[in-house]
Structure 1
Amino acid sequence: MQVPQIRLQQTYAQTGLRITQPVQEIEQLPAELSIKQVPATMNIDHKPYHLDINQEQMWNELNFKSNSVFSEDMAEFARQEGFEAIAEKSQEGDQMAAIDKKTDAIDAIVTSKANPGPAETIIAFIPSEGSVKINYTPPELNIDWKKGGAEIEVTPHKPNHTYTPGKTEVYLRQMQSLQIDFVGGNINTKS
């Protein structure tokens, strides 16, 4: 005998997800940058040194005189010698004219000329100290410095941002079902 059986075949419900991903777009334009460079300036004013050496007095003392100085010295020497000679002759004339003093003027004049006094000696360093004149002017250096700089202008740009939100849709991918089968004998389903 065949025993009646009930067979159940069940299918579970299945849900599905339909997902749309969110989309985000960001576009960033770079900032506009304007730089103007002003260069620094430097001005240098340089005055060189000056050295002046005057050796004229030294050469004159060593008797290496220029023509003009030699001519002036000789003229002055001749003038002085002339004045001294005139003074001497005048003095001798005065001595001879003084007859009333009853002195022998000619003998005194001849004696003074025949026996001159000792020669005058002078110890001197030739050339003398300080006969070379040195004048020195140091150099000058003036630096004028002006700073430059930079002028910077920035124009920023805002980012372009677009956003599309995502979605999630839930749907029924498979319906649940229950299938019942009666296997075996006949079952009276009517009551």
Structure 2
Amino acid sequence: MAIPQLTMQSTKAQISITTTPPVQEIQQHPADLSIQQPKADLRIETTPGKLTIDQSQAWADMDLKPVSKRIEEFAQNGYNDWLEGLARMAEQGDQLMRIEDGGLPIADQAKENSEDPMLDFNIGFVPSPFSVKTNYEPSKVNIDWQVHKPVIEATINRPQHSYKPGEVHTEMKQYPTLMIQIAEPKINQLK
């Protein structure tokens, strides 16, 4: 008995996929920034230093005096000498008044009036030490300041964003097929 032959031929299905990629654009502009720094207010007040030097005593020690000072000293010395002479004459008069008490008042007075007084002198410095007087008042400085904070203004710029979505297209590139053939068997007849 002959069995028919079955032949099957098939092709696979094929899908075609076409894609368009998405496009995304983002732009971020920097923020607008304004910074202002006001200057600080500074005020400085100074009182200048003052130096005073008095050297009149040093000039006087070197006998370099103004005329007014010399006149004043001569007047004072004359007055003092007059008082000393008056006191000496009063004392000598008292001694002569008591001549009866004994002693030699006339000889003693003659000796006292004729001799110059003993001068007492040791080491001297011209001008004398510390005769130049100095005085210094230091300067004064007052500083006053006021600081101002910076003025900052910032404006934020939002990002610019654009987006175009991608696309996917699918289609059948090849449809599936199935072919079935039946072949009848050949019978060999023996004759």
- TM-score (norm. length: structure 1): 0.69
SS in 2 for 1:88: helix
SS in 2 for 1:63: coil
Matched with 1:85 is 85
Matched with 1:64 is 64
Matched with 1:101 is 100
Corresponding letter in the other structure for 2:100: K
Cα 1:178–1:68 shift into 2, 3 Å: same
Q: Is the 8 A contact 1:39 1:149 kept in 2?
A: no
Cα 1:150–1:74 shift into 2, 3 Å: same
Cα 1:163–1:63 shift into 2, 3 Å: same
Does 2:184 match 1:158?
A: no
SS in 2 for 1:119: coil
Cα 1:102–1:158 shift into 2, 3 Å: closer
Counterparts of 1:120-131 in structure 2 under 5 Å?
Answer: 120-126=119-125, 127-131=127-131
Distance of 1:140 and 1:100 partners within structure 2 = 75
Q: Name which of structure 1's ranges 32-41 and 42-51 shifts more when overlaid on structure 2.
A: 42-51
Deviations 1:71-120 (Å, cap 9, x if unpaired)? 11111011112222333344445555x28738776555434323x37513
Deviations 1:155-182 (Å, cap 9, x if unpaired)? 22322323232121101234456789xx
Cα 1:99–1:138 shift into 2, 3 Å: closer
Distance of 1:23 and 1:108 partners within structure 2 = 142
Deviations 1:109-163 (Å, cap 9, x if unpaired)? 434323x375131325233322221212334444444434322222223223232
Cα 1:124–1:162 shift into 2, 3 Å: same
Aligned-residue offset at 1:22: 1.4
Cα 1:118–1:146 shift into 2, 3 Å: same
Aligned-residue offset at 1:10: 7.4
Corresponding letter in the other structure for 1:52: T
Long gaps (5+) in structure 2: 1-7, 181-191
Cα 1:174–1:134 shift into 2, 3 Å: same
Q: Is the 8 A contact 2:99 2:105 kept in 1?
A: no
Q: Name which of structure 1's ranges 99-108 and 74-83 shifts more when overlaid on structure 2.
A: 99-108
Distance of 1:31 and 1:75 partners within structure 2 = 94
Aligned-residue offset at 1:28: 2.4
Matched with 1:22 is 22
Distance of 1:174 and 1:161 partners within structure 2 = 41
SS in 1 for 2:110: helix
Q: Is the 8 A contact 1:40 1:149 kept in 2?
A: no
